[in-house]
């Protein structure tokens, strides 16, 4: 059933492991991009990936929903399990996986369709709506969750590409939410947005945490500190440190983390 309101708030307290990665290696041709990454990502939690450019955080994020499959020269070793199931197993259909693990990209990428059709895209493909009213319901719910409903409810037939950058990104989030994923991956979702739109998206992320597990890649340390509960610091393809956000930012154990956070490397 597609109904967010029935999910109980108590889930916040029970931290089950959603993703678990063991000894993950990623190669782009000869380039060893990710080295020995071991990490457990919790459900109903925002996990932030931080680190300098080229450190592998986006690459690792894209491993979690097998978006790297579309790149020919990319090779992945090790285990990544979603709810205990190996997502790189032959029996897993990457298309099914991506329906469960949604993604929001760095640059807003609304389809050249109407706002309504953008949000209805996923539900239509996966047959989530039994009827037109059902679909209307899903679209409205998703747009409300993305804090966009009030702005667009009168012009659902207008093209999604005609909105402002911040609205477009929230539309993309609504689109991802409409597919009813379990995990939402966000690859620098605010890097193309102004501070006001960024604040709106961050608020949204905090709201979405009640229903989903979220992973967000960001270059902004303040953003990581504001929105996440767990933080992972990547450096040169290694996962250097992973822990509670508060602890990473106030009392990092690794000196590379400290250098990065205080702005000495990056």
Q: Which stretch binds another protein (CB under 8 A): 3-11, 19-27, 83-91, 168-176?
A: 168-176
Tell me the three-class secondary structure of 114-155, residue by residue. EHHHHHHHHHHHHCCCCCHHHHHHHHHHHHHHCCCHHHHCCC
Of the candidates 26, 15, 17, 18, the residue with the CA atom closest to the CA atom of residue 239:
26
Sheet strand arrangement including 31-42: 85-86, 74-82, 17-28, 31-42, 238-244, 230-235, 46-50, 213-217, 183-187, 101-104
Q: How far apart are CA 122 and CA 108, in angstroms?
A: 16
Which residue of 58, 76, 87, 122 would you call a contact of another protein, by CB under 8 A?
122
Residue 192's contacts (CB-CB under 8 Å, 6 or more residues apart) are 106, 107, 108, 165, 169
**For residue 105, how many other CB atoms are within 10 A of its CB?**
16
Per CB under 8 A, 161 contacts another protein: yes
Q: How far is CA 72 from CA 27, 32, 80, 94, 98, in A?
A: 11, 15, 20, 15, 18
Which residue of 18, 57, 170, 175 would you call a contact of another protein, by CB under 8 A?
175
Per CB under 8 A, 96 contacts another protein: yes
Q: Which is nearer to another protein, 180 or 225 (CB)?
A: 180
Q: How far apart are CA 59 and CA 125, in angstroms?
A: 26
Q: Which is nearer to another protein, 33 or 172 (CB)?
A: 172
Which residue of 2, 28, 88, 111 would you call a contact of another protein, by CB under 8 A?
111
CB of 55 to another protein, least distance (A): 21
Beta bridge partners of 21: 39, 80
Per CB under 8 A, 158 contacts another protein: no
Which residue of 7, 95, 157, 158 would you call a contact of another protein, by CB under 8 A?
95
Which residue of 80, 176, 190, 224 would you call a contact of another protein, by CB under 8 A?
176
Q: Which stretch binds another protein (CB under 8 A): 22-30, 39-47, 66-74, 221-229?
A: 66-74
Which residue of 12, 125, 157, 158 would you call a contact of another protein, by CB under 8 A?
125
Which residue of 34, 41, 63, 67 would you call a contact of another protein, by CB under 8 A?
67
Which residue of 56, 102, 166, 237 would you call a contact of another protein, by CB under 8 A?
102
Binding site for another protein (CB under 8 A): 65, 67, 70, 72, 95-100, 102-105, 107, 109-113, 121-122, 125-126, 159, 161, 172, 175-176, 179
């Amino acid at each position: 059933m597609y109904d967010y309101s029935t999910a109980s708030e108590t889930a916040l307290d029970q931290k089950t492991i959603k993703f678990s990665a063991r000894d993950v290696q990623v190669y782009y041709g000869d380039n060893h991009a990710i080295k020995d990454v071991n990490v457990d990502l919790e459900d109903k939690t925002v996990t932030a990936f931080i680190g300098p450019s080229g450190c592998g955080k986006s690459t690792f994020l894209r491993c979690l929903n097998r978006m790297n499959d579309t790149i020919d020269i990319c090779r992945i070793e090790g285990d990544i399990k979603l709810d205990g199931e190996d997502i790189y197993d032959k029996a897993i259909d990457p298309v099914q996986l991506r329906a469960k693990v949604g993604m929001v990209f760095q640059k807003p990428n609304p389809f050249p369709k109407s706002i309504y059709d953008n949000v209805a895209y996923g539900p239509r493909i996966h047959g989530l709506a039994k009827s037109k009213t059902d679909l209307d319901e899903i679209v409205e719910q998703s747009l409300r969750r993305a804090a966009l409903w009030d702005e667009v409810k009168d012009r659902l037939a207008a093209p999604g590409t005609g909105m402002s950058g911040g609205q477009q990104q929230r539309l993309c989030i609504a689109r991802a939410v409409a597919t009813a994923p379990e995990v939402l991956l966000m690859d620098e979702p605010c890097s193309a947005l102004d501070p006001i739109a960024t604040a709106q998206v961050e608020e949204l992320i905090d709201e979405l945490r009640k229903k989903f597990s979220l992973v967000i890649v960001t270059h902004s340390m303040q953003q990581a500190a504001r929105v996440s509960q767990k933080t992972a610091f990547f450096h040169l393809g290694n996962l250097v440190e992973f822990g509670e956000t508060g602890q990473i930012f106030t009392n990092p154990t690794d000196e590379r983390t400290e250098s990065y956070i205080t702005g000495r490397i990056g």
